[in-house]
Amino acid sequence: MQILQVVLQVILGLTSLLLTLLILLHRGRGGGLSDMFGGGVTSNLGASGVAERNLNRITVILGVVWIASIIILGLITKFSAN
């Protein structure tokens, strides 16, 4: 059970870093914080529809893996305390 917990913690760490990177790669959708940090200037560079859809899909999949690993780690912690 300890090995599974360590593996899930590593997965959680990796998905956290990857989610941060992928979210920062997304194109800004309008005025807001993304424009304040230069999102409006770079939004025309390499932003094809297919690439944006694939980026969205990968981000959603990583988000689901991230949430699942948090839930499983929480259940392991809860039931191993007894």
DSSP one-letter string for 1-26? -HHHHHHHHHHHHHHHHHHHHHHHHS
Asked if residue 15 has pLDDT above 70, the reply is yes
Please check the confidence at residue 5 and state whether its pLDDT lies above 80: yes
Domain ranges of the chain: 1-24+50-81
Q: Averaged over 18-24, what is the pLDDT?
A: 94
More confident residue, 14 or 81: 14
Total-model pTM: 0.75
